[in-house]
Structure formats: structure tokens, C-alpha cells
Amino acid sequence: MGLVQRAIEASGIPTVSITLLREVTEKVRPPRALYLRWPFGHPLGEPFNVAQQLTILHDACEFLYTAQLGELLTLGYRWRRESYSIPAEWGR
């Protein structure tokens, strides 16, 4: 994914990836990446947990504005141990 991200960024479009395999991401070195300690196959969270999934998407979009090029940020969410709600300002 890092190679694709770099090609897209070369066109002037910022990117961010969500990863569950930190070791691989550190080797590939994408422009920006969020790391979650969650089960493989669930980068946005539990199935049907819309509030959790929107939280991760919101964090990813926000990270586009705050991240330094090459930054890998670990999100501290715990699998099935957090409480998520959709803020009114998100328009849902």
C-alpha cells in the first residue's frame, strides 16, 4: 500500500492508511499511517458498530491535517473495550 500511496501523493493528493501490522508498515514506510492493535481483517472496527467505524474514519481524516510526512501514529483504542458515540457535529 505504501507504494500506491507515494504514487498518489506525487500527484498532489494527500493519503493516510490504516494498518494492523505495524512491523510491515514500518518497513514499507507509507507517507502517513494509523496503527490499531485490533484483530486482522477489522481495520475500521467491529462489524455493524457504526459509531466505532466513524470514529476511526474521523481520526484518519483529521490525521491528514496534523501528520508529518512519514508519521506512523498508534491509536490507543482497545478492541471491544471502548465506548463510542457519534457527536452531533458530525451530522448524523
Average pLDDT for residues 16-28, to the nearest whole number?
Answer: 95
Would you kindly state where each structural domain of the chain is located, as residue ranges? 2-77+85-90
Quote the pTM value: 0.86
With a pLDDT cut of 70, the percent of the chain lying above it is 98
Question: In the prediction, which pLDDT does 1 show?
Answer: 74
3-state class of 37 per DSSP?
A: coil
> Does position 92 have pLDDT exceeding 70, yes or no?
no
Q: What is the pLDDT of residues 33-77, one digit of tens each?
A: 999 999 999 999 999 999 999 999 999 999 999 999 999 999 999
Q: How many CB atoms lie within 10 A of CB 14?
A: 14
Q: Give me the amino acid identity at 87.
A: P
Question: In the prediction, which pLDDT does 29 show?
Answer: 93
